[in-house]
Amino acid sequence: MTNLFKFGTPSESNGFLLWKTTNLWQREIKKTLKKFDLTHTQFVILASSYWLTNQNENITQVEIAEFIDIDKMMTSNVIRKLIEKKLLKRKEHKTDTRAKVINLTDKGLDTLKNSIKEVESFDVTFFGKLADKDEFSKELLRLLNNNGG
């Protein structure tokens, strides 16, 4: 059978290696967040809510979705789940009647503080195996910036 691929082995494909590395990283993050009863998406939305609120206290779920570059409907569903868990709260926007302002609850802030410690510790260990972490981060940013991310 003829080889359809440009590469002789899958390990020569950056896309395939990124796929496998991302899956490994996500699997381990999932384990890390399980003790906090959070999915990775829930964690990212909590962390982004906190980050954005530090920039502007009246953040909306649309702003959160745009910041983390995920679907608005998915963001809405995850925020609804975080509200059920009493980690986020939603209130009316002062000037935009269609929008809702998203804030962390005290429980949400505590959960975020504890989970961030674990996630950052995991990231230090996981990415600490790289020969040049700073260059890796710069290259990822360059890929994102040059591809509309």
CA–chain centroid gap for 87, Å, is 16
Q: How many domains does the chain have?
A: 1
Q: What mean pLDDT comes out for the span 74-96?
A: 92
Residue partners of 42: CB distance under 8 A and separation at least 6: 33, 78, 81, 82, 87
Report field, pTM of the whole predicted structure over 0.85: yes
1-19: pLDDT as tens digits = 677 777 777 787 888 999 9
For residue 32, give the nearest of 148, 115, 137 by alpha carbon.
115
29-40: pLDDT as tens digits = 999 999 999 999
Residue 123 covered by a domain: yes
Residue 126 covered by a domain: yes
Residue 4 covered by a domain: no
Residues of the chain with pLDDT > 70, as a percent, come to 97
Range 17-33 burial, b when 16+ CB lie within 10 A, else e? eeeeeeeeeeeebeebb
Residue 133 covered by a domain: yes
Which CATH number fits the domain that encloses residue 129?
1.10.10.10
Residue 70 covered by a domain: yes
Residue 102 covered by a domain: yes
Q: What mean pLDDT comes out for the span 116-120?
A: 96
Round to whole Å and give the CA distance between 58 and 130: 38
Pull the structure tokens for residue 32: 């890390």
Helix (H) or strand (E) holding 69: none
**Segments forming the whole domain that contains residue 39:** 30-146
pLDDT in the model for residue 6: 77
For residue 144, give the nearest of 69, 47, 55, 62 by alpha carbon.
69
pLDDT in the model for residue 11: 81
Residue 17 covered by a domain: no
In the three-class reduction of DSSP (H, G, I as helix; E, B as strand; rest coil), residue 31 is classed as helix
Residue 35 covered by a domain: yes
Q: What mean pLDDT comes out for the span 18-46?
A: 96
